[in-house]
Amino acid sequence: MKFLPISFLILALATATALAYDPSPLQDICLATNDLESGVFVNGKFCKDPKQATADDFVFMGLRNPGNTSNPLGSKVTQAFVQQFPGLNTLGISMVRVDFAPGGLNPPHFHPRGTEVQIVVEGTLLVGFVTSNQLNNTLFTKVLYKGDVFVFPIGLIHFQLNIGNTYALSISSFSSQNPGLITIANAVFGAKPPISADVLTKAFQLDKKVVEYLEAQSWYDNN
């Protein structure tokens, strides 16, 4: 190893880091199961015996019907992650359906383990994401119409807003079977137990009464 050029070692480490997301499958299928007695544990999920697989294990019907948008956000996210769709286990992909009432918002959030690519099926959406501090928190935003596709890089805060007067629908896919979700307002002001108001007062440069008011609200989860 000592004879390898430094540049080669750096490239090897960078490649290993880049590939360190969902693991590649080591067998044809590894269907997630909650049966801890017969399953084999693989990165967060147990796999059932592949000889017991049926066609039903590879279909998910939860995206058929519109989500209920009668809520404070006017949107509903229906997930097809590995938790809902066991057939995705070890495949490194997942999906969601997002329904929007007129004016409906999928609020600022991020996925710590997956890049998202979204296609608009119906309606008109204003979408965008914000880069990290490294790139001065630059906002990239665009109005999307039916058939348009937008990508949200892994780990960056993003949002979608229905700016049309009619119902809107989008479908997104992810580069992870379990991309995770952190909704900013819910995490900051709805943490349990709550984050110290002194911390948030200084962080957001708000009056302490405003912070206490925000922490007292019921932060809706549209997932």
* Domains of the chain in sequence order: 6-57 (no CATH), 61-183 (2.60.120.10), 184-223 (no CATH)
Write the pLDDT tens digit of every residue in 124-183.
Answer: 999 999 999 999 999 999 999 999 999 999 999 999 999 999 999 999 999 999 999 999
Number of H helices, E strands in the chain: 4, 13
Provide the pLDDT for residue 28.
Answer: 81
- Residue 164: both structure tokens together: 């049309």
Write the pLDDT tens digit of every residue in 149-165.
Answer: 999 999 999 999 999 99
Provide the pLDDT for residue 44.
Answer: 65
- Residue 115: both structure tokens together: 């890049």
CA distances for 59 relative to 18, 63, 86, 89, angstroms: 30, 11, 9, 13
Nearest Cα residue to 177 out of 62, 60, 88: 88
d(CA 75, CA 161): 9
Instruction: Return the amino acid letter for 113.
Output: R
Q: In tens digits, what is the pLDDT along the chain, a chain of 223 residues?
A: 455 555 554 455 445 444 446 767 767 888 888 776 655 555 567 888 888 899 999 999 999 999 999 999 999 999 999 999 999 998 999 999 999 999 999 999 999 999 999 999 999 999 999 999 999 999 999 999 999 999 999 999 999 999 999 999 999 999 999 999 999 999 999 999 999 999 999 999 999 999 999 999 999 999 9
Provide the pLDDT for residue 76.
Answer: 98
Provide the pLDDT for residue 138.
Answer: 98
